[in-house]
Amino acid sequence: MRHGAQNINNQNTNDNYKIIAVDDEEGILDSLQVLLKRTGYNLVGVTDPMEAIKRVKDEHFDLMILDFIMTPYHGDQVVEEIRKFDKDLYILLLTGHKDLAPPLETIKRLDIQGYCEKSDKFDQLLLLIESAIKSIEQMREIRKINDELSDTYEELEKAYLEIVETLRFAVEAKDTYTRGHSDRVSAYSVLIGEKLGLSEEDIKTLKIGGLFHDIGKIGIPDSILLKESKLTDDEYSQIKNHPTIGAHILSKVSYFKDMIPIVKHHHEKYDGTGYPSRLKGEEIPFLARIAAVADSFDAMTSKRSYRDSMALDVVIGEIERCKGTQFDPQIADAFLDILKNDSEKIKKIQEEFNTEVAEML
């Protein structure tokens, strides 16, 4: 009685896994059908290798049992095709004789998890199938855990972004002239990054780093931040603390670690005369060098209480003049190319965020 209950449980468990067997000998498939049905596995048998490839493409299978010597295609050719669209399928290769097995190199390259010789007894194959199912079960569990962790990480990421976004708005609420500034610096930085062919990950870092590059101004007294007349040397020294303050704020959350170099070093200059660390040339983090160009461009093209915005041709001249001193020449040239040949993108960014500023005022 107890033994019968155990068989039912095994069959229910095994039935959760779908197996496809591919062999041009129907007798082999019939034997496998009997063997695997007895142990509760869900098996689909196919004699045509091309049909097998199509079935795997159209349906989900956990395990493939595959004959090596078939016509018109051998097993390794079938796997070659399948691996183009399915990297996860667990594959066991059957060979008529060990001398007819594909080279070990081929087995590794195609990620064939195991093979065994054909025999009248299926004991070895059954053991391999059971081992395969255990591996597949573990991979399912790992994927489930990864999905759960990914969901949790995304929730934390969203929460962190919302907190820092609140701080950013607090900074911009202090000074009406800087509203929209961080959005534009972020957008310009992304344009430059795309022009330079950077990865999606770097583009994302530029986008978020640009948004929060001035977050440290939350720690600068309003009397200095909003002062309309010329700053004293002491006041200017305090203003120069904002990159370090911003980096410190973001350092408490590991999610922002890639953005911190942008926040801390966007006021460094290529010739080493910038702040806070007086880094020079390639000592300055590459993404911070991009943000520096974007930040300076927005500063020159934005209206301030003490001056009007500069004309585009004047700004282009300034960027040209400061190549190699204030700006990385490669990055400056990339942005100049955008300004001269694709200025509509710049205008679109300015219109988008200037409209938002107008609505806020």
On whether both 175 and 320 belong to a single domain, the answer is: yes
On whether both 244 and 127 belong to a single domain, the answer is: no
> In the prediction, which pLDDT does 61 show?
93
Residue 153 domain-assigned (yes or no): no
**Amino acid code (one letter) for 297:** F
d(CA 295, CA 305): 18
Buried b (16+ CB within 10 A) or exposed e, 134-162: eebeeeeeeeeeeeeeeeeeeeeeeebbe
> In the prediction, which pLDDT does 99 show?
65
> In the prediction, which pLDDT does 355 show?
43
On whether both 168 and 105 belong to a single domain, the answer is: no
Residue 81 domain-assigned (yes or no): yes
Q: What are 121-151's pLDDT values in tens digits? A: 778 888 888 888 888 887 888 778 777 766 7
Residue 144 domain-assigned (yes or no): no
Query: Number of structural domains, the chain?
Result: 2
Residue 142 domain-assigned (yes or no): no
Residues of the domain holding 41: 2-133
Task: Judge whether 320 and 336 are in contact, CB under 8 Å.
Answer: yes
Domain end marker among 111, 133, 155: 133
On whether both 18 and 98 belong to a single domain, the answer is: yes
Residue 150 domain-assigned (yes or no): no
CATH number at residue 44: 3.40.50.2300
Residue 158 domain-assigned (yes or no): no
* Higher pLDDT among residues 175 and 13, named by residue: 175
Question: Is 217 considered catalytic here?
Answer: yes
On whether both 128 and 170 belong to a single domain, the answer is: no
User: Within 13 Å, how many C-alpha atoms sit on residue 146's CB side?
Assistant: 6
On whether both 178 and 60 belong to a single domain, the answer is: no
Lowest mean pLDDT among 65-74, 171-180, 232-241, 331-340: 171-180
User: Within 13 Å, how many C-alpha atoms sit on residue 339's CB side?
Assistant: 22
315's enclosing H/E stretch is helix 312-321
The overall average pLDDT reported for the chain is 84
CA distances (Å), origin 13, targets 16, 53, 85, 204, 349: 6, 26, 27, 43, 57
On whether both 177 and 282 belong to a single domain, the answer is: yes
Mean pLDDT of 68-78: 85
CATH number at residue 233: 1.10.3210.10
Q: How confident is the model at residue 265 (pLDDT cuts 50, 70, 90)?
A: very high
- Please tell me which residue in 217, 227, 340, 345 is annotated as part of the active site: 217
On whether both 65 and 168 belong to a single domain, the answer is: no
Task: Judge whether 32 and 65 are in contact, CB under 8 Å.
Answer: yes
On whether both 181 and 91 belong to a single domain, the answer is: no
On whether both 79 and 224 belong to a single domain, the answer is: no
Mean pLDDT of 73-102: 83
On whether both 100 and 178 belong to a single domain, the answer is: no
Domain end marker among 87, 116, 133: 133
Task: Judge whether 49 and 7 are in contact, CB under 8 Å.
Answer: no
Residue 149 domain-assigned (yes or no): no
Q: What are 185-201's pLDDT values in tens digits? A: 999 999 999 999 999 99
On whether both 127 and 178 belong to a single domain, the answer is: no
Residue 35 domain-assigned (yes or no): yes
